[in-house]
Amino acid sequence: MTNRAAVAAHTPTSDSGSGSSGPGSSGPGDIEVLRSELDRIDGSLLDTLRLRIGCCVEIAHVKRTHGVPMMQPHRIGVVQRRAARYAEEHGLSAEFLRRLYDLVIAETCRVEDLVIDGAPAVPRAEPPST
CATH of the domain at 105: 1.20.59.10
For residue 50, give its domain range. Answer: 31-130
Residue 64 resides in a domain: yes
Domain count, the chain: 1
Residue 17 resides in a domain: no
- Tell me how far apart the alpha carbons of residues 57 and 74 are, in angstroms, rounded to a whole number: 19
The pLDDT, as a whole number, for residue 17 is: 45
Give DSSP secondary structure letters for 25-47.
Answer: ---TTHHHHHHHHHHHHHHHHHH
* Chain segment 41-73, per-residue pLDDT in tens: 999 999 999 999 999 999 999 999 999 999 999
pTM of structure: 0.71
Residue 24 resides in a domain: no
